[in-house]
C-alpha cells in the first residue's frame, strides 16, 4: 500500500478541521495504520491536544507521529514522513491562501469540512478552487449537522464531491479532545464514534488504505 497524504482545509475558520484531523488519525491508528499528523495552523489546537495526549499515555505512546511547523516547511516534512507512514494528515490554517495552497499541493487527497451555514458554503469555493488548480481530488464533509437538518439538506444539494458520511453536532467530539483522546477511544459504539468510523472507512476505500477484513480494536479502546 502506497502512503497517502490527506490535507484537511477550509478557508473559513471554525469549520471543524482539527476535530476531523484528530478523530480520523486515531480511527486509522486503531486499525493498525502508521499515522502522522502535521499541524501548520498557528492557532495550534492540534498541538495542544497532542500535548494532553502525551501526558495521558506517555511520550512515544500516543499512537501517532506528531509534527508542528510553519506551512512553508510542510513539503520537506511530508517527504520525510512518507518513508515510514501509511497516512499523513495535514491540519491547515484558515484564511491563509499561501499556506493552504502549500498544504493542498503536498496532498494526495483533500477533505473540506462544511458546516450547515451559508457563510461556510460560500467560503468553500475558495478552497475548492485551490484544489482544482492543484488537481487534488476532494471530498466535502458536512460537519456538525443536527439530525433532520433541512438547512443541511439544502446546502448538500449545492455541493460537488460530497462525502456520503455526515458528522453530527455531538458533545463527545469536544469532550474527548479535552482529554487528549478521541470519540472512538472514549465510547467506541457511540453515534459520534460510528460516524468517524464510517468516514474513515469511506475515505479509506477511496484511497485504498483500508479493506473490509480490518476491524477496529474496540475492546482495546474501551480499556484505555
Place of cell 464514534: 193
Residue 147 has pLDDT above 50, yes or no: yes
Q: What confidence score (pLDDT) does residue 151 get?
A: 64
**Percent helix, strand and coil across the chain, each rounded to 5?**
45, 15, 40
pLDDT band at 14 (very low <50, low <70, confident <90, very high): confident
Which domains, and CATH codes, for the chain?
Answer: 4-219 (3.40.50.300)
**Is the pLDDT assigned to residue 97 strictly greater than 60?**
yes
pTM attached to this predicted model? 0.90
Mean pLDDT of 165-189: 97
Residue 134 CB coordination number (10 Å) = 16
pLDDT in tens, 47-81: 999 999 999 999 999 999 999 998 789 999 999 99
Residue count of the chain: 224
Round to whole Å and give the CA distance between 72 and 61. Answer: 28
The pLDDT value given to residue 204: 95
In DSSP notation, 94-109 reads SS-HHHHHHHHHT-SE
Yes or no: say if 35 and 65 are a contact pair by the CB < 8 Å rule: yes
% pLDDT > 70, the chain? 89
pLDDT at residue 212, as a whole number: 47
CB count, 10 Å around CB of 76?
A: 11
Beta bridge partners of 88: 5, 36
Distance CA(52)–CA(58), nearest Å, equals 10
Per-residue pLDDT at 100: 82
Categorize the per-residue pLDDT at 124 as very low, low, confident or very high, splitting at 50, 70 and 90.
confident
Side-chain-facing half-sphere of 136: CA atoms under 13 Å: 29
Q: What are the distances in angstroms from CA 75 to CA 9, 48, 70, 83, 95? A: 16, 23, 10, 13, 20
| 189 grid coordinates | 459504539
Q: What is the mean pLDDT of residues 82-103?
A: 88
**Between 152 and 44, residue with greater pLDDT:** 44
Tell me what pLDDT residue 11 has: 83
CA distance 34 to 84: 8
Amino acid at each position: 500500500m502506497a502512503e497517502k497524504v490527506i490535507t484537511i482545509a477550509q478557508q473559513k475558520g471554525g469549520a471543524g478541521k482539527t476535530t476531523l484531523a484528530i478523530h480520523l488519525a486515531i480511527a486509522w491508528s486503531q486499525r493498525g495504520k502508521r499515522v502522522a499528523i502535521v499541524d501548520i495552523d498557528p492557532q495550534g489546537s492540534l498541538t495542544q491536544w497532542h500535548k494532553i495526549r502525551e501526558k495521558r499515555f506517555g511520550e512515544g505512546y500516543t499512537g501517532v507521529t506528531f509534527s508542528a511547523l510553519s506551512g512553508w516547511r510542510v513539503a520537506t516534512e511530508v517527504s520525510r514522513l512518507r518513508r515510514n507512514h501509511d497516512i499523513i494528515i495535514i491540519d491547515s490554517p484558515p484564511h491563509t491562501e499561501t499556506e493552504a495552497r502549500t498544504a493542498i499541493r503536498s496532498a494526495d487527497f483533500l477533505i473540506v469540512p462544511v458546516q450547515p451555514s451559508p457563510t461556510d458554503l460560500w467560503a468553500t469555493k475558495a478552497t475548492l478552487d485551490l484544489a482544482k488548480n492543484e488537481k487534488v481530488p476532494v471530498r466535502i464533509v458536512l460537519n456538525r449537522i443536527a439530525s433532520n437538518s433541512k438547512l443541511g439538506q439544502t446546502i448538500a444539494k449545492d455541493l460537488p464531491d460530497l462525502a456520503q458520511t455526515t458528522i453530527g453536532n455531538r458533545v463527545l467530539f469536544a469532550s474527548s479532545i479535552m482529554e487528549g483522546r478521541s470519540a472512538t477511544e472514549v465510547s467506541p459504539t457511540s453515534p459520534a464514534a460510528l460516524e468517524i468510523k464510517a468516514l474513515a472507512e469511506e475515505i479509506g476505500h477511496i484511497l485504498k488504505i483500508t479493506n473490509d477484513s480490518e476491524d477496529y480494536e474496540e475492546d482495546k479502546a474501551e480499556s484505555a
